[in-house]
Every structure is written in C-alpha cells, then in structure tokens.
Chain A
Amino acid sequence: MSKFLKSLIVFSALGFAVPAMAGDGEKFGLGRTATPEEVAAWDIDVRPDGLGLPEGHGTVAEGEVLFTDNCAACHGDFGEGVGRWPVLAGGQGTLKDDRPEKTVGSYWPYLSTVYDYVRRAMPFGNARSMTNDEIYALTAYILYLNDIVTDEDFELSKENFTSIHLPNEANFIEDGRAEEPFNETKAEPCMSNCKDSAVEITMRARILDVTPGRADDEGAGAGSVD
C-alpha cells in the first residue's frame, strides 16, 4: 500500500474527511444568487422577437435632435459616416457591387440589433448614458434616415417595435462552407505537376503597397476588419 493511501486511512480514522471528488454535473455550491436588481442592471439585451425591449417610446423628430448632438460627429448628419466611422444609412442595392455599402438599411437583418447596440455601446466613449426613450427616438431616426419610415412624427415604441422589419433580413443564410468544392470533396491535394504551364506572377503587393513603415506611408489601402 502506498504511503499516500496509508496516510489517508490514518486521517480518516482520526476523523478527517477525505474531500469529495466533484464529478460531471456535480455542484460546488460556489457563488451566490443574483438579485433581480442585479440581473436587470446587466441583462439589457434585446432579441428580434422583442424579448428584452424596455417600456418606452420616441419619435423621429426627437431622434434627429439627439442624433445631431450625440452621433453626427462620427456618423455624419445623415448617417453618411465621417472618415472611416460607420455609415448608418443608404447603400440599398449595393450588396452585389464592387464596393458594397453595408448600413442598417442595406444590410442589417434586425432592428432589435440597433436598439440593443446603441443601448449597450453608444455613444462611443459614453456608453449607457441615454434613457430608454432616447434610444427609441434614435432608433426611429435611423429608420427615417434609411427611408424605412418617412414620417417625422413616427413614434417607435415597445408596442410597435416588432412590426418593423429591415429590408435585407431574408438575405442572410446559414454557413455553407462545407458545400464549397474544396471542402466538400476533401480530395487529396495534388503534389506534383499540379499546374500545366509555368507559374506567372499576376499581382504584386508593391503595386498598391500600403504596408506601414514603407517610404511613402501616406496611402490608404482597401479592406476592413469591421
């Protein structure tokens, strides 16, 4: 018998309990119950079916004032975006273009995401500073900027929120990578004489070199990490 087991037996005989080993699904009794106030303070997420929407309402006209004061510095007066800050409006019909413009109106599938995101993260650098009514008003104004509502008196509220659908909702599809030819076949890749003719260079980074630190470091490249 190992020394370890012997000492365990001795300890047991003396009345020390061997610690229970926690197994799969077993509880540890750690942490404490969250209070309803705590859950309400942090659980502010909103789903497309309206779950999580707070009581409240706001109009396009109210939203325009709030937008000008809190949002336009980055997003532009009409949601057109300043510099590389996100464009919020326009872009409808550009998703197949060479340079698609992905905005709330042209790309986002759900209005709930606008409410949720503005409430949790905007204004940039001063998050959680707006009231629920103000966020309804801002959301209404973003709808107006995208021509999804056209009346400045339109009021968005918890009650009518889920009746509004964004135009691009149907264009979201599930992950189809498994059906792409190179993934579907799982064919053993070619090892020799894989190309008929000599390999030609078709493009060089130096043509539009935007690498940081190069001699002429002024240019901006294409692309985004979003």
Chain B
Amino acid sequence: MTETSKPAPGMNRRGFLKAGLAAGGAAAFGGAAGAAESDPLITQVQDWNRYLGAGVQAAPYGVPSAHEAHVVRRDVEWLTASTESSVNFTPLHALDGIITPNGLCFERHHGGVADIAPADHRLMINGLVDKPLVFTMADLMRFPRENRVYFLECAANSGMEWRGAQLNGCQYTHGMVHCVMYTGVSLKTLLNEARIKTNGKWVLAEGADAAAMTRSIPMEKALDDCIVAFKMNGEALRPEQGYPLRLCVPGWEGNMWVKWLRRLEVGDEPWQQREETSKYTDLLANGKARRFTWVMDPKSVITSPSPQMPITHGKGPLVISGLAWSGNGRIKRVDVSIDGGRNWTTARIDGPSLPKALHRFYLDIDWDGSDLLLQSRALDEHGFYQPTKNALRAERGENSIYHNNSIQTWHVKEDGRVENVEVS
C-alpha cells in the first residue's frame, strides 16, 4: 500500500481507513512469513476477553455486526425522480457464496413498498378459466410447497454502462441482482385449481401496490417453473420484496417477478402493459425496439478485487472472487483474464451449481504487484457466453438500457486500487 490518505473511488473514507489499518496491522504483525514484533492484540488481554458480552435476546431479531455497518444497499440519487419509483443496489463486493442475505437484496419499486397485513391479502385468478377463484394466504399455505434457489436480475442491471464506464463499484454496475431460496406453490398448481380454458395462452400477473404492477407471461413459462412464493431464505418475504406474496419467474427479467401479487388473469393475447411496451423494451440503433426480451443472458462480474474492494495486502496470494449466472440454466464455466482478455484461465466454481442461480467462482493467484486488467466471462450449459462490450454495442447500439451482459473490466493498479475501465 503506497498511499493510505485518500479513499479509493467508490469507497467511503471510513471503510478505506479501516482497510488501511488492517493492511498495516498485517504488515507489522506477522504478514508474509517474516519475523515480527509481538502483537499486542495477543499479548495483552482484550476487553472482550475479560468482560461479559451481551446476553441472549439482546437482539431478538439478529442484526449484522456493527463492524459491518458499511455493507448496505445503496442508491444512485441522480438516476430517478423519486425514491418511491426507484432502485438501490446489492453490495455484491462485500458478499460471498451464492445466497444473498434478505436485508441486502436490491430493491426496485414503482410505487413504494406496499404495507399489507397477510390477513388482508387476497390472490385472485380470473379470465379464461372455468372457475374464477379467490385465495387467502391461509388457503395458499395448504397447497404442496417447493423450495428453489433462483437469481433475480433487473433487466436494467448494468444499464448505466452502455455508453461507457461511469460507476466505480460492482455494487452499482452489477448490483441489481440477488439470489435467495424461495418457498411457495408452483404457479401451475394454482392455475390448475381454476382450470385454464383451452384458449388461455397468456397470464397477466398483477401487484397490489400503488403501481398495480402488471406483466404478461406466456402460458408455457407459467406452467413450467414459476412459483408463487411467500418465503425467502426460510423467513417471510421482506416487505420490499413483496410481502406477503410474490411471483418468481426463474431466469427471466426481474420486472416480471410481480411483488405483492394479488391477481393472475388468463387471456388469449398479451396485454401490452406499460412495463412491456414503453419500458423493458430494447431500443436498437436502427430505431426498432425489441419486445418480450424475457431471458437474462449469461453474465458474470468479479466482486473482489473491485473498486469498492481494493487490494490492501500487497503482493502475494490473492483471491479473485466473483459471481456468474444465466437465465438459461447452469453456468458451465467461468474464465478469468488478468490481461484484459488476451489470455484466459478457467476459474474454480465452488458451492452449489443450480440452474438459474448465482454461481460463485474463484481464481487464486500469486499477485506480483503489477497492474492487472481483470475480466470474467461466463459460459452457460447451453453454450451461450458473454460478449465484449464492443461486440454488444455493435449489435444493439447504446440506447437499449436493458440486457447489458457484456464483459466487465477492472483495472487493478500497483497500489491495489481498482477502477472501472474499458479496454481495446
């Protein structure tokens, strides 16, 4: 570490100072196999070793350590007109494994967070069905349940990077994704209960929030793997994730995962709602716009090192860690480049490899302290892989907003700081 006085871009000062102290501590007290002075943290009795800590029930619903207070969702104020119709970002840089903690899953609302008592919530099925139905939450708890781990990615994730690198931090460039285990009832089970008429080809999902969010879903997908979920990671859905009920549309853009789900309508044509016409359509350079671009393409990002996670330990062993996912299914392989995409090494995937879920990859290297141009490239089990930024722009231009799954580059400098860059 050559400098400790200035915070790295995208990292708050406190976090940087803490990181610097940690690095200094390692250097002074036993880093890199050298003979070291004795560490007072060992030779002197510490407070936590002498005095009693908090008792049980000090935090009836546990919260993270106070030392992790910087690991929070963050928003980008200039991006939207109001916080009620806005988005914030998962702190991917600070997380590991494949499961996102519930309190850190990014939020996207179009009319604020609806506050609904479960006893007041209803789910209606109507339209082209033999019998329009209304379920209470208690009714839904009596259907057979499924547990499935899925990523949810906003179609606009990385949307601010179409024109070029502008945000320093994977939280901002890639943080509109999370991955949790859902518990719920298959959508197919519920639709069967109302019995779909033979001309029922589409399902409209509708939320109970102030945006009454709606999306048209083709029947083939509705009957395939969609879930009407009431739990995430074992506990009730968080309010901001649709409590008490949301739709899961695995592998497809997050906007379709309607929160506060109150109605499912069966029809013979799509409804062409606002979120599938004026929004969530991909404007190309030729002025045409693609619609119904549902699947999330294979994608990956190195979460550490990254602009918010500079290298603070100097040269030597370095864990390069990241996430990969594909709406098509499982990730087959992730390749990592340290020279800007000239040469690639296949990374190690560790942890479960589940279809349409985040995958955690690592590349363990011996860093020589020189500049790196870090990239990762995901390949899914169907043979689809990530394009370069320039290849994607060549096909679509710069105005698509959505479905930017191109390869990200981080420039790691000799002092360990990391910047979001683009390369030739």
Q: Which of B90-98, B230-238, B309-317, B340-348 contacts A (4 or more CB under 8 A)?
A: B340-348
> How far, in whole Å, are A42 and B420 apart by their CA atoms in the complex?
46
Asked if A110 contacts B424 (CB within 8 A), the reply is no
Number of A interface residues in the complex (CB < 8 A): 86
Residues of chain A within 8 A of B26, CB atoms compared: none
Within 8 A of A (CB), among B116-170: 124-127, 131-136, 139-140, 142-144, 154, 156, 159-169
B291 to chain A: closest residue by CB:
A172
Contact of B341 among A108, A113, A120, A199 (CB under 8 A): A199
Residues of chain A within 8 A of B74, CB atoms compared: 212-213
> How far, in whole Å, are A25 and B188 apart by their CA atoms in the complex?
8
> How far, in whole Å, are A214 and B297 apart by their CA atoms in the complex?
31
Asked if A209 contacts B78 (CB within 8 A), the reply is no
> How far, in whole Å, are A121 and B422 apart by their CA atoms in the complex?
40
- Is B199 interfacial (CB-CB < 8 Å)? no
Asked if B265 contacts A45 (CB within 8 A), the reply is yes
Asked if A34 contacts B133 (CB within 8 A), the reply is yes
Q: Given A175-B290, A175-B293, do A222 and B343 touch, yes or no (CB 8 Å)?
A: no
- Is A154 interfacial (CB-CB < 8 Å)? no
- Is A6 interfacial (CB-CB < 8 Å)? no
- Closest Cβ of chain A to B352, distance in Å, is 24
Residues of chain B within 8 A of A104, CB atoms compared: 278
Asked if B166 contacts A221 (CB within 8 A), the reply is yes
Residues of chain A within 8 A of B160, CB atoms compared: 221-225
Q: Given A182-B391, A191-B335, do A42 and B421 touch, yes or no (CB 8 Å)?
A: no
A contacts, CB < 8 Å to B: 22, 25-28, 30-34, 38-39, 42-43, 45-49, 74, 83-85, 95-96, 98, 100, 102, 104, 107-110, 112-113, 116-117, 120-121, 124-125, 127, 171-177, 180-183, 186, 189-195, 197-206, 208-214, 219-226
Q: Known A-B contacts: A31-B193, A112-B272, A211-B307. Give 9 more (CB < 8 A).
A: A33-B132, A45-B271, A84-B78, A84-B80, A182-B391, A189-B335, A211-B169, A213-B12, A224-B401
- Closest Cβ of chain A to B378, distance in Å, is 10
Contact of A174 among B159, B189, B210, B292 (CB under 8 A): B292
